[in-house]
Amino acid sequence: MTMNDIVALSVGAAIGGGVAYREHRFLCRAERLSAATLESLLNAIDANDATTGAHVRRVATYALILGEAAGYDERTLRSIERISLFHDIGKLHEALTDIFHDPSTLTPEERRAVMTHPQRGAEVLAPLVAFYPDLGKGVAAHHERWDGTGYPRGLKGKRIPLAARVVSIADSFDAITHRRRYSRARSLSEATQAIADGRGKQFDPELVDLFLSQPVRSRIEEAMCRVNAAEPDTGNRRHGETQAAPDITFRWRPRARGSRSRDRRT
């Protein structure tokens, strides 16, 4: 090898290294931008309806416990987290806000309107489809049922996206264990019984079995205690009633050097 060859190789390596470095920086910036976009969207949910903001974070917590117990890869877990956090964004639609905040019983017409929220949510998230292709589909499917009697499409069994099946269990669990304007908070054992009753009807039977297994139940119970402790109590909170959204999750946050941001998640 001549001296010229060595110089050419060195220059080539330097240029290649520079390109790789620029690509790495570009990817880091793109990752930060996508994280910022999702956090802004979540801030918009909090600003419109703090109760929904708290609910979706709790759902994400429970759904990730179930997803981790099932051994899903990181990509699937991130998808589960995003779908959990934005599954009810369609409730913030102008046409539904009054209905969701009206304490009286729903009329049949209002009930039909409420059933549009999964599809409305998917429409809100449509611009993100190039970056998160499964987000809108998962949000649209979170009220589908294993037996095909859910909405909006009546999807059955494994035709329902996996992440939506996971979120569906976590969503129902939280709806039962947290007080809502039209129902009291019920106990952990009542909630697990309701999930068991929905096995093979509302919910994926394999996921129900996993959700009801002792290790998962213990982690869920532990998370419930942390979540409730993280919610500020203004002094007039009744059992299970949310006052503000606890900052409990975000798998998408880039890790700061030398720290483990994921450890902040409950």
Contact between 46 and 53 under an 8 Å Cβ cutoff? The reply is yes
Tell me the one-letter amino acid at 164.
A
User: Among residues 88 and 231, whose Cβ is nearest to Fe ion?
Assistant: 88
The active-site residue, picked from 91, 137, 158, 201, is 91
Q: How far is the C-alpha of 145 from the C-alpha of 151, rounded, in Å? A: 8
Q: Report, in Å, the least distance between residue 242 CB and Fe ion.
A: 16
Residues 86-145 that bind Fe ion (CB under 5 A): 88
Tell me the one-letter amino acid at 72.
Y
Q: Using CB under 5 A, which of the segments 5-13, 23-31, 82-90, 221-229 binds Fe ion?
A: 82-90
In Å, how far are 11, 19, 48, 164, 226 from 16, measured between CA atoms? Answer: 9, 5, 48, 43, 48
Whose CB is nearest to Fe ion? 88
Q: Report, in Å, the least distance between residue 117 CB and Fe ion.
A: 6
Q: Report, in Å, the least distance between residue 99 CB and Fe ion.
A: 13
Q: Using CB under 5 A, which of the segments 43-51, 84-92, 97-105, 156-164 binds Fe ion?
A: 84-92
Count interface residues toward Fe ion (CB under 5 A): 1
User: Among residues 69 and 175, whose Cβ is nearest to Fe ion?
Assistant: 175
Q: Report, in Å, the least distance between residue 218 CB and Fe ion.
A: 27
User: Among residues 88 and 134, whose Cβ is nearest to Fe ion?
Assistant: 88
User: Among residues 89 and 220, whose Cβ is nearest to Fe ion?
Assistant: 89
Three-class SS of residue 80? Answer: helix
Burial of 178 (0-12, 13-18, 19+ CB in 10 A): buried
Q: How far is the C-alpha of 86 from the C-alpha of 97, rounded, in Å? A: 16
Contact between 79 and 135 under an 8 Å Cβ cutoff? The reply is yes
Q: Using CB under 5 A, which of the segments 14-22, 80-88, 187-195, 216-224 binds Fe ion?
A: 80-88
Give catalytic status of residue 91 as yes or no: yes
Q: How far is the C-alpha of 115 from the C-alpha of 96, rounded, in Å? A: 10
Q: Report, in Å, the least distance between residue 191 CB and Fe ion.
A: 17
β partners of residue 199: 203
User: Among residues 78 and 143, whose Cβ is nearest to Fe ion?
Assistant: 143
Give residue 91's Cα distance to chain centre: 15
Q: Using CB under 5 A, which of the segments 83-91, 129-137, 158-166, 247-255 binds Fe ion?
A: 83-91
Which token pair is 92?
A: 């913030």
Which spans of this chain sit near Fe ion (rule: CB under 5 A)?
88
Catalytic residue IDs:
91
